[in-house]
Structure 1
Amino acid sequence: MGKIDWELKKFHGSEYSTHKGSSYNSYLIQEAKTVLIDTVWLPYAKEFVDNLEAEVGLANIDFVVQNHAEIDHSGALPELMRRRPDLPIYCTANGVKSIRGHYHQNWDFRIVKTGDSVDIGNGKSLVFVEAPMLHWPDTMFTYLAGEALLFSNDAFGHHYASELLFNDFVDQDELYDECIKYYANILTPFSALVAQKIQEVVALNLPLEIIAPSHGIIWRKDPLQIVTKYAQWAADYQENRITILYDSMWDGTRKIAEAMAHGITDAAPSTEVRVHNAAKTDKNDIITDVFRSKAILVGSPTINKGILSAVAGIMEEIKGLRFKNKKAAVFGCYGWSGEGNAVLARLLEESGFALAAEGFKALWEPDTETLQKAYEYGEAFARKV
């Protein structure tokens, strides 16, 4: 009963790019009781509730399960409750706080915790599993016993618009790219909790035939494949990849970045190298490459004893994501004082990266000799990591 949003290009304000659009997945269960699982984003609230009325009749809904209160999932609650103010809302204790904080209403909240269940008739029940910080404190999963179906909300989701609905119908490369991007940019800081929650759910030994997240397609063919991927991504993930990110004022730092990339490739042909200008490349795509990399090189010229704003901005994002088990080094041009490398090195260490080498620094515009040294630096860096 959700909404496919083909037009969406930015999410979380302008913090997350959605090149492939997205969806806000809401689910309607019709057994002896009729249950609504989550709603949709606020701009589509009236459309959503009108569709509910046409499909099932609002008077026939018995209760709502709100797995997570962020407004892309709860945004239609005010419109729904305006028309059905008596509807019970099942959520966690933190869910009550969050929903009240968003909408300032004292609706009929029914607080649930892990292991609680509700009989919905015909031999089926809903079982609730708290999943705090996947990715908000209020998040929970809802398991439909009797159908082996898990409503996982944001977990195992991805921003991907498709009318095809199911994972076995869509382009697998596109699907994988959106899944790892979603994990890298949103769930990385909570990897320890992701691993713990996966172990807890597996220990329940519940049959699982479908995973239905709140963004993107539904996992029905080998649904545990995405659980396996999450377990891998939560384990300080890295591939044989090195990412170089930089910004440049007069192309000197760019030339150094490209020379280093050539050096890495020649020294380690099997290592994939990605080079991004932080001022021109989508930041979420850069972060995804950083997540997939075993090491990164970060470059900026020195400006006002610091670094360029595009690099400072993405370093702030990287710091918050708390990547682990990754190495790094820094580089850049300077003309006056050259503090940029020291600033970058400090930011990388604060972000959890191990510095694998002294930084590479070039005075003024790099000449042929300097670019040869940058090439050799790239060769040496590839051998160290």
Structure 2
Amino acid sequence: MDEPQPLKIAEGIYWVGVVDWNLRDFHGYETPKGGSYNAYLIVDEKIALIDTVKASFSEEMLKRISQIIDPAKIDYVISNHVEMDHSGSLPAIMDIATNATLIASSKGKSGLCEHYREMGCDNWNFQVAKTGDEISLGKRTLMFIEATMLHWPDSMQTYLREDKILFSNDAFGQHIATSKRFDDEVEDVMEDAAIYYANILLPFSGQVIKYVEKVKELGISIDMIAPAHGVIWRRDPARIIEAYGRWARGEAAQKVLVIYDTMWGSTEKMAMEIAEGVREAGVEVRVRHLRKNDWSMTMKELMDSPVIAIGSPTMNNKMFYTVAGFLTYMTGLHPKNKKYFLFGSYGWGGGAVKGMEKEIESARFELATESLQVKFRPFEDDLKQCRDIGKRLAEIAKEEAKS
């Protein structure tokens, strides 16, 4: 049987990762396109492995490496991030490459020792790296860049100076499974990157801005970005760095996002009238039913929407369970520069809107206008009010997009 093959991405540089075709959930982030765990091997006078893969795929990674060199000859293993989808195969590698130096940030070393203390960590030869530190592989030089909170405290990136390749770990990635390895070979890669950002890096937008500034200060030229997930950016990689800047700044479009769930259709009727009011006012509107659309894509739509309308029916005197779950998910990601409108329906107890208001207030989010709830089902005057509110939200979106 043929062994898994590596892929040369530049002279002496190989992708030795794995594709996870069946990945559908990444700690709550829906991944309908699957995913990948990317590791990279650099062969010079010294041999370096940058990142590993999820533990269950360690054998496949080792087989790819073995097509190029004996894994025991690896001189350096660079761990850019402690999270187990990247570090899970470290014990397997370190058991084979017993003379290898393991390079990580200071917090990376601490995290790896805490996580793998019963799997040989005491015997690993650590070297702690700080921003600007370098090691020579012979003809090539690796420089390390601390990327704190992108998206863990230990996060680090590795820059291959002579080839101008940035091994960016979790930054600039996408969750997609594909046999292709480069951005110019796949469709919709920027949208996949936006979904990834919205669900992984959105809470750390302040740190993203600082990171982009740090890269500029370092004055490094980047011809290729090789992330730990998804495809490699080789066609104008500056475009994904620029996109991260836009997303981090929360740049808004003239757009309103309507998110809702419904039991007997009353809240849905309100949602559709609000959406129609937005449309009539000449502003783009997107509508997302929470049980018919994945939350990950909804968060992507939310990124450039300055106004968000959220609707829920009342169930057991509380907001509907999907709305409650989504609010927990959304507030955890903490999108900035948004204004919210809350609406819903009820029978004999109006707890849904009150519950949503409490969540929005607790997250210190801003309401666009007073909430609206109707009893049992919306009649003509209620529907007119919903449409008028949609027009009002559209005007707010126009103003927010200007600022």
Residue 286 of structure 2: aligned partner: 274
Cα deviation, residue 323, structure 1: 1.3
Give the residue type in structure 1 aligned to 2:219: N
Cα deviation, residue 202, structure 1: 0.8
Cα deviation, residue 78, structure 1: 1.4
Contact 1:6 1:161 in 2 (8 A): yes
Residue 155 of structure 1: aligned partner: 171
Aligned match of 1:116 in 133, 136, 144?
A: 133
Cα deviation, residue 226, structure 1: 0.5
What secondary structure is seen at the aligned counterpart in 2 of 1:376? helix
CA distance in 2, matches of 1:274, 1:359: 20
Contact 2:255 2:394 in 1 (8 A): no
Residue 183 of structure 1: aligned partner: 197
Contact 2:134 2:142 in 1 (8 A): yes
Q: Does 1:2 align with 2:14?
A: no
Cα deviation, residue 381, structure 1: 2.3
Residue 13 of structure 2: aligned partner: none
CA distance in 2, matches of 1:350, 1:236: 21
Q: Does 1:92 align with 2:109?
A: no
Q: Does 1:83 align with 2:69?
A: no
Deviations 1:122-141, CA, capped at 9 Å, x for gaps: 2x211111111101111111
CA distance in 2, matches of 1:302, 1:164: 47
What secondary structure is seen at the aligned counterpart in 1 of 2:184? coil
What secondary structure is seen at the aligned counterpart in 1 of 2:183? coil
CA distance in 2, matches of 1:59, 1:46: 14
CA distance in 2, matches of 1:119, 1:80: 21
Q: TM-score if structure 1 supplies the norm length?
A: 0.94
Q: How does 1:174-323 map to 2 (within 5 A)?
A: 174-268=188-282, 271-323=283-335
> Structure 2 stretches of 5 or more lacking a match?
1-15, 398-403
Contact 2:299 2:330 in 1 (8 A): yes
CA distance in 1, matches of 2:296, 2:125: 39
Residue 48 of structure 1: aligned partner: 61
CA distance in 2, matches of 1:80, 1:210: 26
Give the residue type in structure 2 aligned to 1:112: A
Give the residue type in structure 1 aligned to 2:39: S
Contact 2:226 2:233 in 1 (8 A): yes
Residue 143 of structure 2: aligned partner: 127
What secondary structure is seen at the aligned counterpart in 1 of 2:152? coil
Give the residue type in structure 2 aligned to 1:217: V
> Which piece of structure 1 moves more, 367-376 or 188-197?
367-376
Residue 101 of structure 1: aligned partner: 114
Cα deviation, residue 321, structure 1: 1.3
Give the residue type in structure 1 aligned to 2:179: E
Deviations 1:123-182, CA, capped at 9 Å, x for gaps: x211111111101111111111111111111111111222221112221xx211110111
Q: Does 1:19 align with 2:32?
A: yes
Residue 69 of structure 1: aligned partner: 82
Cα deviation, residue 91, structure 1: 0.4
CA distance in 2, matches of 1:352, 1:224: 34
What secondary structure is seen at the aligned counterpart in 1 of 2:301? helix
Cα deviation, residue 4, structure 1: 1.6
CA distance in 1, matches of 2:71, 2:336: 48
> Which piece of structure 1 moves more, 346-355 or 41-50?
346-355
Q: TM-score if structure 2 supplies the norm length?
A: 0.90
CA distance in 2, matches of 1:10, 1:322: 21
CA distance in 1, matches of 2:353, 2:24: 34
CA distance in 2, matches of 1:352, 1:236: 17
> Which piece of structure 1 moves more, 280-289 or 337-346?
337-346
> Which piece of structure 1 moves more, 331-340 or 200-209?
331-340
> Structure 1 stretches of 5 or more lacking a match?
none
Aligned-residue CA RMSD in angstroms? 1.4
Cα deviation, residue 34, structure 1: 0.8
> Which piece of structure 1 moves more, 336-345 or 194-203?
336-345
Deviations 1:322-342, CA, capped at 9 Å, x for gaps: 111111111111122323222
Q: Does 1:326 align with 2:338?
A: yes
Residue 145 of structure 1: aligned partner: 161
Aligned match of 2:369 in 336, 357, 364?
A: 357
Cα deviation, residue 32, structure 1: 1.0
CA distance in 2, matches of 1:380, 1:239: 16
Cα deviation, residue 369, structure 1: 3.2
Deviations 1:261-295, CA, capped at 9 Å, x for gaps: 11111122xx2211112233211111111222111
Cα deviation, residue 48, structure 1: 1.2
Give the residue type in structure 2 aligned to 1:207: S
CA distance in 1, matches of 2:388, 2:72: 72
> Which piece of structure 1 moves more, 217-226 or 337-346?
337-346
Contact 1:300 1:308 in 2 (8 A): yes
> Which piece of structure 1 moves more, 100-109 or 72-81?
100-109
What secondary structure is seen at the aligned counterpart in 2 of 1:221? coil
Number of residues paired by the alignment? 378
Residue 29 of structure 1: aligned partner: 42
Between the two proteins, what is the percent identity of the paired residues? 39
Contact 1:279 1:311 in 2 (8 A): no
